[in-house]
A and B are shown apart, each in its own frame.
Chain A
Amino acid sequence: MPTKKFQKEMNSGTASLVLLSVLSKSEEPMYGYQIAKLLDESREDAIAMKQGALYPVLRSLEKNALLSSKVEPSVSGPPRRYYTITDEGREALPLWSGIWNQMKSFVDNILEGESHV
């Protein structure tokens, strides 16, 4: 299904920005499920992105030093990995949202623009 593929491609780019933004606004370290819940609450329409896809993105952000994490045991159940935004992450965020805004207005212009034919 080309639509699904398009959706996936859109997600993979925006997920990093969304996660970075969520963690920059949070004062405490957050674990994956917490972030997934928070994202669920903030959207009314059907879930476009699977929660499972957040985790590899979190890991890759950590790999690039934009996030840091530590594992802490939970009262019951498996230990949880808590993520915090790093200084590098805070520096990257305004640049990334700048790129996002540019991209958004560019695409909007194209979509809403009048035909030039």
Chain B
Amino acid sequence: MFNTVEEYLDALKQEMQGVDSATIQDALVDAEEHLRTALETADESADALPAIIEQYGTPEETAAAYAEVERLTAPALSGSATKKQGSAIGRFFAIYADPRAWGALLYMLIAFVTGVVYFSWAVTGVSLSVSLALFIFGLPVALLFLLSVRGIAWLEGRLVEALLGVRMPRRSLPAPKNTKLLERIKALLVDKHTWFSIVYMLIQLVLGNIYFIVLVTVFAVSLSGVAIPILQEAFHLPIVQNYDVYYYMPSWGYPLTVLAGIFLWTAMMHLVKLVGGLHGRYAKAMLIAEQD
């Protein structure tokens, strides 16, 4: 049987192999909260744990309970897959009814802001922690920063699940339990999860910029395609102006520019959905801790 809570958690993790890693993290956090709270309130006797586990359920039973509920609870947005349209054109334009595409679009725009914030926070935190390590008050600064990285990783996970539809942890990881400042910092430093999260925060600046630039550029080009007839006919604005030489598009070209504009943006929505899915998988790989 299990002599410590850690042994139970290990067994539970073992039992849940192959299950979605975010569900595993939730299950481990729940089990730890329950078992430790129960142990605290139990008598001082050494063999309280078996009775507590008997009531809580074996790792197999607990794993089965999570699997059952998870089966019934799909992540946000995933329930509304695009309906099958008959024609290819119909399916091409059905992207506008796909909440995943809009979610990914919103995520990419937000990533421009979060990227800057994450990057600044990571760079400031790392450099402050390293340089202040000379002084005694550098330790609390380092600890606060490392804890904030966990918080941000969890927050980003919530954003990714809500907008990209990828299942992410619904609980943040508990902070290390040692009361000694140095040991808590050490526990956070040797945790791969912390470093992956920091790297994610740094890369997010680059990705956020790329997403933003590509989106704005493609949107501008698409919009101009649709706008050319209006600008030329209503406002007599040329498509190209070179000093006093004005170039106008012949009117037979109007349908072509409009169609090209619409097509370009619709294709972009497909690309956005695809990249959104990829980003979700990448975020999942980077931000979810492997508890070991």
- Does A pair with B? yes
A32 touches B30 (CB 8 A): yes
- Find chain B residues with CB under 8 A from A62 CB: 170
Contact A77:B36 (CB < 8 A) given known A55-B30, A56-B27, A56-B70: yes
- Find chain B residues with CB under 8 A from A32 CB: 30, 33-34
The reply to whether the CB of A12 lies closer than 8 angstroms to some CB of chain B is yes
Min distance, Cβ A4 to any Cβ of chain B, angstroms: 10
B40 touches A50 (CB 8 A): no
A52 touches B61 (CB 8 A): yes
Complex interface residues of chain B between 9 and 47 (CB less than 8 A to chain A): 26-27, 29-34, 36-41
The reply to whether the CB of B244 lies closer than 8 angstroms to some CB of chain A is no
B31 touches A78 (CB 8 A): no
A60 touches B174 (CB 8 A): no
- Find chain A residues with CB under 8 A from B61 CB: 50, 52-53
Which residue of chain A has its CB nearest to the CB of B179? A76
B73 touches A60 (CB 8 A): yes
Size category of the A interface is: 20 to 34
Which residue of chain B has its CB nearest to the CB of A40? B55
Bound state CA distance, A27 and B70, in angstroms?
29
Min distance, Cβ A70 to any Cβ of chain B, angstroms: 12
Min distance, Cβ B184 to any Cβ of chain A, angstroms: 14
Contact A57:B69 (CB < 8 A) given known A52-B56, A78-B174: yes
Min distance, Cβ B193 to any Cβ of chain A, angstroms: 17
- Find chain B residues with CB under 8 A from A56 CB: 26-27, 30, 65-66, 68-70
- Find chain B residues with CB under 8 A from A57 CB: 65, 69
A79 touches B33 (CB 8 A): yes
Bound state CA distance, A76 and B40, in angstroms?
8
Which residue of chain A has its CB nearest to the CB of B63? A52
The reply to whether the CB of B78 lies closer than 8 angstroms to some CB of chain A is no
A55 touches B34 (CB 8 A): yes
Bound state CA distance, A81 and B32, in angstroms?
12
Bound state CA distance, A79 and B62, in angstroms?
20
Contact A59:B26 (CB < 8 A) given known A51-B56, A71-B172, A81-B171: yes
The reply to whether the CB of A80 lies closer than 8 angstroms to some CB of chain B is yes
Contact of B33 among A59, A60, A76, A81 (CB under 8 A): A81
- Find chain A residues with CB under 8 A from B39 CB: 77
Contact A59:B69 (CB < 8 A) given known A50-B61, A50-B62, A52-B31: yes
- Find chain A residues with CB under 8 A from B73 CB: 59-60, 63-64
Complex interface residues of chain A between 1 and 18 (CB less than 8 A to chain B): 8, 12
Complex interface residues of chain B between 217 and 242 (CB less than 8 A to chain A): none
- Find chain B residues with CB under 8 A from A77 CB: 36-37, 39-40, 177
- Find chain B residues with CB under 8 A from A79 CB: 33, 174-175
The reply to whether the CB of B57 lies closer than 8 angstroms to some CB of chain A is yes
Which residues of A does B touch, CB under 8 Å?
8, 12, 31-33, 36, 40, 47, 50-53, 55-57, 59-60, 62-64, 71, 74, 76-81
Which residues of B does A touch, CB under 8 Å?
26-27, 29-34, 36-41, 55-57, 61-62, 64-66, 68-70, 72-73, 170-172, 174-175, 177
27 contacts between A and B (CB under 8 A): A12-B68, A31-B33, A31-B37, A32-B33, A33-B37, A33-B41, A50-B55, A50-B56, A50-B61, A51-B55, A51-B57, A52-B30, A52-B31, A55-B27, A55-B31, A55-B34, A56-B66, A59-B30, A60-B69, A60-B72, A78-B29, A78-B37, A78-B177, A79-B33, A79-B174, A80-B33, A81-B30
